[in-house]
Structure 1
Amino acid sequence: MAEAMTDRLGKTFSYLLLAPAVIPLVYVSGLVYPYVATKTFLLQGIGIIALSVFAYLALSGRPFYYERLRNRLTWIPIALLTVAYVASYFGVDFYRSFWGLFDRGDSLLTLTVITTFFYLILISAPTPFGVGAPTSDVGADRQLLERLVRTVAAVAGIVALIAVLQWVTATLGGKPWFLPPITGRIGGTFGNAAFLAGYLGMSLFVILIAMRDSIGFWRQTYKIFAVLSVLAIIFAATRGTILALVIAGAVALAYAAVSEGERVKRMARYGFIALAIFMGLFFVFRTELMQASFEPIRRMASISLSDSTVTSRLFVWQNVGSEALQRPWSGYGAESIASIFNRIYDPSSIVEQWFDRSHNAFLDYFVQYGIFGLALYFAVIIAFAVSSVRIYRSEPPGLLNVGFLFLLLILAYSIQNFFVFDTPSSLWLLYALFALCISATTNVPTTAPAWLARLPTFVPALACIAVFSTIIPAVAFPLYANIMLTRGYLYHLIDVPRANAYFERGLALGTYADLEYGYQAYSMYTDRQAVQLLGQNRISAYEYALSVLTANFNKYPYDARTATYLGHVLDTAPPEVVVNNDFDMEVLKRAIELSPLRAQAWYMTTNIYLRKADILPAGSKEKEPYYREAIKILETYTGKEPTLPVPRYILATIYYALDDAETAGKWADSALPLYTKPDTAAAKPAVKYYIAIRDWRNAARFLADLVEKNPSDYDVLYDLAKVTYLAGDPAKSLRIVEELRKKNPEIIGTDQNFLNVITAYESQK
């Protein structure tokens, strides 16, 4: 019976090694971050199950290719993992480093699982490509490589097909139920254009390998998959991957032009010339192409040092790199880039508000794991290339030589990762192929240590159960917490007590989800609950958000995001609630310390004093000290960050309230040139100031921006109608009134004086 169990587990084991190849297809809409979290839970769960089965097989005396571990190239992944653990132990927060967050899926746990897969595939895969032959059957599928290649190729083809269908239906204005929803650029089953392109940029070469070794129907299918992959990468408009494939294509053409048959050489040379001409024309007409309606062309043409995304990336690279040089040997630990990003954040130079990656995988490794981590990451890439060269030499040369295709794969991977960050799916694929590359060039027999035969019969089962049981805290509990967070979200407006009950059930598990619960509590409360709820429901929502964010504020003292969010929740407390201003000041002080140039904490600190002034009677002299404190804070911030119009307009309104019209005008005049694009944060105080000084033209301009941002805010739209009339454009004002008569006729009667004036104008037409 034990032998039958071992045989069944042996067959299952080979499928478990292949299972992660299917994960890119999977997403579940019932989770927070459905595209990422689903894949992360599956990868971690399958990894734990595979390791538990391996423990049973290995301790039962099943032979494996242990001799491959003598190859020094195989030591690199475990060395990188060790460095990652050491760096994280001495880094910002080992707990956060080990578990990560739902929105990324990257963590020490994920890296551990991927590294485990590398070694399980390495010692299980028979020698492929016809190089050598295993001396005995280890129970692993002798076609493991072929199955892995075909699985990756088929999955990548389907992923590419879904992405192409997304683009086609979005272009035609449709939203089929069977396709993932689109937010921004197409992301397929990854929900993110960069993740999609990064995965397909690697799997494209695996598809070419599968095509090479197939005939008939499957060969034609893989050709279609290859075309779909290229189209999906183009439609995703991810510039790093497109550039990587162009360079890889140029290398392939150059290789074919010197090493293939005469006909292929001639075609390759023509292709190389055509590519050069195309690139030349692209740069010549780059200015015109920047206005193209086709987004991939527009994004590629917009690459320049003046492009906002490019300048933002360069700023992040420079400043994050400078911070990394403060700890070049030890690094800051896994999942620690967010704390560095917050320190160097500058709203005038960075596009993203919150970010936990530098958009450069090499810099990410250096920041997290220091110089040793970066060196070992380079070593993985170089070792992959070395193994690919060995495979190349074992086969007849040619464009479809497996070793050459692997070289193109690692080239594309390296180039695209210079502009994006690694994902678990792409890193797993790299490690799996790396393991197979080593297997292809290492002909050793299978062995089983003799001491295993002396183990008691219960040991394999006990070890299997022990390893398998780790799936409960590692996967099951976080998954349940994610589900509870999702269920609570569904009820956070219609049944607050029920929503809070779900949230409490999820938090009671004590998982790493608590930080994500805080972020989501902030978003739910400030975006919707504080605006749409009233009475006890709003108070309950506020109290829940306050409690979870306060707990995280104490548990994660390095997290600027939690401190800022907690300050914002306190800033938007229901009027029935008394806010502890001392605690509020403590929260905002930490937020400023952790992210000195982030504006929100400075504004909310100002609001503490403005709230104190607002509760005093109109015209009270006691208001002035509070206004002066607010001015001091804002003037300090404008000295640190002189490019933002928001604090200048707030200063203008405060000085105007102090009857200092001259100083108010100076601040407003200095703010106006800085307002270069619609910004509601700046428009609101600007409207308040310009209405106060009766500058109707500028007031109308900023009100129009507010309306554009939120067309359903009919109060603002009505204000725009009145201010537009006062600015000397009654015809436009009447058009706005006519629009309001259709959408919200009741609001027109709220200002009888204006209604009389606009009605009189209408009757004179």
Structure 2
Amino acid sequence: MKLQLEKYIVAIIKIGLLAVLFLPLLASGSFYFPFIVPRDIAFRIITELIFSLYLYLILADKNYRPRFNLLAKIITAFFVVLLLASLTGVNFYISLWGDYERMGGLFHLAHLYLYFLVLINIFKTKDDWLKALTISLFVSLIASFIALAQYLNTGVISKVGSGERLSSSIGNAAFFASYLLLNLWLGLYLFWNKQLKIKLFFYTWLGFDLFLIAYEVYSRLTIDRGFLVPILSNKIFLVSFIFIHLLAGLAWFYKNKYQAIRFLLTIILLFESFILFSTQTRGAVLGLYLGLVILAILSLIFNRSYNQKIKNKLSVSLSLIVLLLLIASPLIVYFNRDASFIQNQPTLRRLATISATDITTQSRLTTWRGSIKGLIDRPILGWGIENYKDAFNKYFPTEIYRDRGSQLWFDRAHNVVVDVAVSTGFVGLTVYLLIYLAAFWQIIKTHRQTQDFSYLIILAAIIAYFIQNLFVFDTLNSEIVIFLIWGLVVFWCQPDQINNKRLTPAKNYALFPLIFLAVIFLIFTYQFNVKAAQANRLVAYQLALRNKPGDLYDQRVVDILKESIDLSPIGRFETRQQLANYLLALIKGQKVDDAILAPLAELVISELKKSIAEEPQNVRNHLYLATVYNSAYKINSQYPIAAVKLLTKAMPLSPTRPQMYSERCQSYMNQDLYDEAISDCQKSLDLSPNVMESHWNLFLAYILAGRNDEADQELTVAKAVGEATGNPVIFDRVINAYSQTGNWSRVVELLAEEITNKPTEALLYAKLAVAYQQIGDNNKAKTAVLKAVELDPNLQAEAEIFLQTLK
């Protein structure tokens, strides 16, 4: 009985570990951040389940107690450092829970470590690991087919970015490329070993086919719309899909002949390489390229390990040829960077534009330099995980603020070394780098003992992963695979990896501890996972309500967001942000009475104050509340005063961020304190002289202050900046500014000038008619409105009403 119970529990744990590998395919539109939140919550639930069962095995049987080699010990030490860094960091609350957008934090990392712990102590045979690698490669293949559906514009799955980059079920091209990169190396490892678990691969594919059919039927019954027919109606996709099916079937039929498996793996590797290339992710492509270069060099260095002389010569020759081709490839791209075959291929074009003067490169380098200043502030254990943004804000690099569309909020450095250093200090960075050094040492040591070249493939994979992580950051998708690789390296170095002998006789597997752990698991997962899912889905639901036609105000939106905030500690600021956005939309729409807006504004302000209390170092919280104060100033005249106090107090959190001064400038203007407003607008402009918005704010301040000559001068400068940056002055905003101060003669002058440049724009004549009416020249107003109708007959009805007002 006890052996049967042990067998079932171990089987469930192994199924759970394999199930985790399918999570990159999981996404749901019913969640806020649909490609992140459902996946992470599912990971946490599965991890809690398998760890609870593993904990039961530990309590019942000493054979299952954790054993660590050097690499496992260093990884454990790194997680301890993460905990210490967060405890001593600037905000433990956010370090613990993270947010919806990233689903990071200690809570997530603890689950990641438990996943790794169970992995290395349950997968004890080579067969276990081959099954895991096979499943991981299979899932990456399915994800690649999803990306192919994007590439072929089947219309079922949209692309991201410029419309060309593939993101698959991951939802982000860079994250998808990171995930695919690791699986390409796993595929190469399986290719070299000729040990793909083809039976598992084949039956998993059949199971996936059955799932697709069942989901198609369900979709047609519930929403009267499926996805298989549009995808499979594409001939290229259909042929590709059937072709891989046939190859998998043939490989299984000829499973005793390794050539069939290698042929299948070759097709998979070529296909996934094409998909990786089509993501246009330069960091991943560069990582793959340098990984191959390093693998070729390692092949030359360790070639003496092979015994046959002829085989040695052939190996050396092939390695040299591959190495020379790899070295020549970037040179060909660089020296032909202006050629049509480079410019017409999006990925090659992006690779050819890599330079120190590239905008993306400049922004990254500038951001990293600012991050180093934050590291110097807290060099030992850093700012704590998830607190990178606070260091970034304190030393905000104004150079990255080029225009209104610039990316100004960074919660990651997009560089793993910088991220780890700022978050955990030099202590954390040292331990993190030791993980790689320990892995390298153990892989090379094992290779020397076994003479197995496939170990060097995994070594090159780890190097490629590290290189591409210099340009991006980890998500759960890549974390699952890299920890699978860390676990594989740990397995190679375990002394009992082959026979897996019991250390002691099996113990008594009592049911009571199992029931107790099951109850704890259910309580814990409901409290911290189910509630988090419910809260997140409520945020997504209220967005759907707001997108429906009807009255602008909907009390259900407010009630839903309040419920979401109360349900879970994760993502509270993002939920409060949605509540604030709703208020701002209502104010902007001008269709809701102040009697409704006033209590809603008080609720929003109260909630945003809670965000500040929970995360006082995050300047974004302060700015958001100040924006609400300034937008709702007509509801309560005290709001602009509160905004000034708030921003002045928060200024040291990000003294070089232009928005701080721009927002305070708005607060002063709302109080008619124009000298103070002009002073702050000028400070913002000094920090960001090429940003159109900074010039606009100063122009508006001059106008409201009645300093028209200076306003005209600033308008001239703003137009020049607008032309230089490709972001011209928004003409309506200029007209409205002069209209607010009653300077209608200036409005007439500007409209007449604009009409000279655009003589066929009817709306300009309509606005000119209103301006003429305001200065009392009804004849010219009538002439202007009739011209507007001549150019656009659709204005006839409005023109008739306007003409009546002239009588």
| TM-score of the pair, normalised by structure 1 | 0.82
- Matches of 2:82 and 2:757 in 1, distance apart? 50
1:507 aligns with 2:565: yes
2:332 is equivalent to residue 298 of structure 1:
no
1:620 alignment partner in structure 2 = none
Counterpart residue number, 1:154: 138
The Cα offsets for residues 375-433 of structure 1, whole Å up to 9 and x where unpaired, read as: 11111122222233244335455xxx321210111011110011111222212322222
- Letter in structure 2 aligned against 1:627: Y
Which structure 2 residues correspond to residues 51-130 of structure 1 after superposition, within 5 A? 51-61=51-61, 63-64=63-64, 66=66, 68-69=67-68, 71-128=69-126
Deviates more, 1:439-448 or 1:336-345: 439-448
Counterpart position of 2:177: 197
2:683 is aligned with 1:628 = no
3-state SS of the aligned residue for 2:35?
Answer: helix
What's 1:213 paired with? Answer: 195
> Structure 1, residues 246-304: CA drift from partner, whole Å, max 9, x if none?
11222334455784665565455444444444322321233557992432122212211
Is the alpha carbon distance of 1:455 and 1:9 closer, same or farther for their aligned partners in structure 2, counting shifts above 3 Å? closer
Alpha-carbon shift at residue 76 of structure 1 (Å)? 0.8
Change (3 A) 1:21 1:680: farther
1:642 aligned to 2:689? yes
- Shift, 1:485, TM fit: 1.4
Structure 2 equivalent of residue 621 of structure 1: none
**Shift in Å, 1:504:** 1.9
Q: Does 1:312 align with 2:371?
A: no
**Aligned CA distance change for structure 1 residues 734 and 598 (closer, same or farther; 3 Å):** farther
Gaps of 5+ in 1: 129-142, 614-625, 708-713, 724-732, 756-765
SS in 1 for 2:22: helix
Q: Which residue number in structure 2 is paired with residue 486 of structure 1?
A: 540
CA–CA separation in structure 2 for the residues paired with 1:632 and 1:385: 57
Q: 1:181/1:289 Cα in 2 relative to 1: closer, same or farther (>3 Å)?
A: closer
Shift of residue 558, structure 1, vs aligned partner: 1.5
Are positions 1:652 and 2:699 aligned together?
A: yes
Q: Which amino acid aligns with 2:90?
A: V
Q: What is the CA distance between 1:481 and its match in structure 2?
A: 0.8
Alpha-carbon distance in 1 for matches of 2:532, 2:703: 53
Distance 1:261 1:687, change over 3 A: farther
Letter in 2 for 1:175: G
Question: What residue in structure 2 maps to residue 134 of structure 1?
Answer: none
Equivalent positions of 1:128-207 (< 5 A) are 128=126, 143-169=127-153, 174-176=154-156, 179=157, 182-184=160-162, 185-207=165-187
Residue among 576, 579, 583 paired with 1:521: 579
User: Given that residues 530 and 538 in structure 1 are in contact (C-alpha distance below 8 angstroms), is that contact kept between their aligned partners in structure 2?
Assistant: no
Tell me how far apart the structure 1 counterparts of residues 798 and 441 of structure 2 sit (CA, whole Å): 73
| CA deviation after TM superposition for structure 1 residue 585, in Å | 2.1
CA contact (8 A) 2:587 2:631 kept: no
Deviation for aligned residue 1:88: 0.5
Distance in 1 of aligned mates of 2:76 and 2:185: 26
Match of 1:442 in 2: 494
How many correspondences in the alignment? 698
Any idea what SS the aligned residue of 1:492 has?
Answer: helix
Going from structure 1 to structure 2, the CA distance change for 1:80 and 1:717 (only over 3 Å counts) comes to farther
Which residue is 1:597 aligned to?
Answer: 656
Q: What is the Cα deviation at residue 634 of structure 1?
A: 1.6
Matched AA of 1:420:
V
Aligned-partner Cα distance in 2 for 1:555–1:54: 35
2:8 maps to which residue? 8
- Asked if the contact 2:565–2:576 (Cα under 8 Å) also holds between the matched residues in 1, the reply is no
The answer for unaligned runs of 5 or more in structure 2 is 199-249, 253-260, 304-310, 739-745, 772-784
What's 2:48 paired with? 48
| Distance in 1 (alpha carbons) for counterparts of 2:516 and 2:798 | 73
Kindly indicate whether residue 281 of structure 2 is the aligned counterpart of residue 283 of structure 1. Answer: no
Assess if the C-alpha contact under 8 Å between 1:521 and 1:545 holds in 2. Answer: yes
**Alignment CA distance shift 1:734-1:85 (3 Å):** farther
Distance in 2 between residues matched to 1:449 and 1:463, nearest whole Å: 24
1:726 paired residue number: none
Note the aligned Cα RMSD (angstroms): 3.7
Amino acid at match of 2:183: S
Aligned to 2:476: 424
Say if 2:610 is the partner of 1:551.
yes
Q: Is the Cα contact below 8 Å between 1:16 and 1:50 reproduced in 2?
A: yes
Q: How does 1:676-755 map to 2 (within 5 A)?
A: 676-679=724-727, 686=734, 692=747, 694-695=749-750
Contact 1:194 1:420 in 2 (8 A): yes
Counterpart of 2:414 (choices 359, 368, 374) is 359
Distance between the aligned counterparts of 2:129 and 2:7, measured in 1?
20
Equivalent pair of 1:741/1:748 in contact (CA under 8 Å): no
Is 1:234 matched with 2:277? Answer: yes
| CA distance 1:18–1:627, change in 2 (3 Å) | same
Shift of the alpha carbon at 1:315?
Answer: 0.5
How far apart, CA to CA, are the structure 1 residues paired with 2:726 and 2:756? 10
CA shift, 1:62, in A, is: 6.4
Q: Quickly say closer, same or farther: Cα 1:41–1:749, change in 2 above 3 A.
A: farther
Cα 1:720/1:101, change in 2 over 3 Å: farther
- By how many angstroms is 1:360 displaced? 0.3
- TM-score, normalised by the number of residues in structure 2: 0.78
Q: 1:461 to 1:449 in 2, by over 3 A?
A: farther
Q: Contact between 1:157 and 1:226, CA under 8 Å: does it hold in 2? A: no
Deviation at 1:236?
Answer: 1.2
Question: Which residue identity is paired with 2:83?
Answer: Y
Q: Is the 8 A contact 1:164 1:235 kept in 2?
A: no
**Alpha-carbon separation, structure 1, partners of 2:122 and 2:87:** 32
Amino acid in structure 1 at the alignment position of 2:435: V
**Is the CA contact 2:124–2:491 (under 8 Å) kept in the aligned structure 1?**
yes
Question: How many angstroms does 1:65 deviate by?
Answer: 6.6
Aligned mates of 1:745, 1:235 — CA distance in 2: 52
Change (3 A) 1:38 1:628: same
8 Å contact from structure 2 (residues 661, 684) kept in 1? yes
Deviation of residue 201 (structure 1)? Answer: 1.0
Deviates more, 1:682-691 or 1:352-361: 682-691
Q: CA deviation at 1:57?
A: 1.9
Q: Which deviates more, 695-704 or 254-263?
A: 695-704
Q: Following TM superposition, by how much is the alpha carbon of 1:120 offset from its aligned partner in structure 2, in angstroms? A: 1.3
- Greater mean alpha carbon deviation, residues 520-529 or residues 38-47: 520-529
Moved more, 377-386 or 81-90: 377-386
1:413 lines up with 2:460 in the alignment? no
What amino acid maps onto 2:621 in structure 1? T
Letter in 1 for 2:137: A
CA contact (8 A) 1:585 1:605 kept: yes
**Separation (CA, whole Å) in 1 of partners of 2:349 and 2:148:** 18
Q: Bigger CA drift: 270-279 or 414-423?
A: 270-279
In structure 1, distance between residues paired with 2:112 and 2:65: 19
Deviations for 1:144-180, whole angstroms, at most 9, x for unmatched residues? 10110001000011112211321221xxxx522xx36
Q: Which moved more, 1:517-526 or 1:689-698?
A: 689-698
Q: Which residue of 2 aligns with 1:335?
A: 386
Distance 1:656 1:455, change over 3 A: closer
Aligned to 1:136: none
1:356 deviates by 0.2
Taking a change above 3 Å as real, the CA distance of residues 441 and 612 of structure 1, as seen in their structure-2 partners, is: closer
Q: CA contact under 8 A between 1:234 and 1:242: conserved in structure 2?
A: yes
Secondary structure, counterpart of 1:28 in structure 2: coil
Q: Check whether the contact 1:9–1:53 (CA below 8 A) recurs between aligned residues.
A: yes
Q: Distance in 2 between matches of 1:403 and 1:550?
A: 54
Counterpart-to-counterpart distance in 1, 2:415 and 2:4: 49
> How far apart, in 1, do the equivalents of 2:596 and 2:155 lie?
35
Q: Secondary structure at the match of 1:63?
A: helix
- Aligned-residue offset at 1:506: 1.5
Q: Mark the CA change 1:746 to 1:313 in structure 2 (over 3 Å): closer, same or farther.
A: farther
The aligned runs of 1:607-626 (5 Å cut-off) are 607-613=666-672, 626=673
Structure 1 distance, partners of 2:167, 2:753, is 41
State the alpha-carbon separation in 2 of the partners of residues 249 and 53 from structure 1: 40
Whole-angstrom CA distance in 1 between matches of 2:316 and 2:62: 50
> Counterpart in 2 of 1:473?
527
